[in-house]
Amino acid sequence: GGVKMIVLLRVDERLIHGQVAMTWTKSLQIDGIVVANDEASGNDIQKMTLKMAVPSGINCIIKTIEGAKELLKNPKADKMRLMVLTKTVKDAVELAKEFDKIELVNIGNAGKMVSGEKMVITKEVALTLEELSSMKELIKLYPETTFQATPAMEKNLARNLIKDK
Helix (H) or strand (E) holding 77: none
Identity of the residue numbered 59: N
Measure the CA–CA gap between 93 and 158, rounded to whole angstroms: 14
Roughly how many angstroms between the first and final C-alpha of the chain, as a whole number?
A: 36
**What backbone torsions phi and psi does residue 68 show, to the nearest 5 degrees?**
-65, -40
Sheet of 146-147, strands arranged across:
59-63, 32-36, 82-86, 6-12, 104-109, 146-147, 156-157
SS3 143: coil
* Catalytic annotation, pick one of 17, 47, 136, 159: 17
Verify whether residue 144 is a known catalytic residue.
no
Listed in sequence order, the residues at least 6 apart from 133 whose beta carbon sits closer than 8 Å to its beta carbon are none
Measure the CA–CA gap between 129 and 90, rounded to whole angstroms: 11
Q: Catalogue the active-site residues.
A: 17
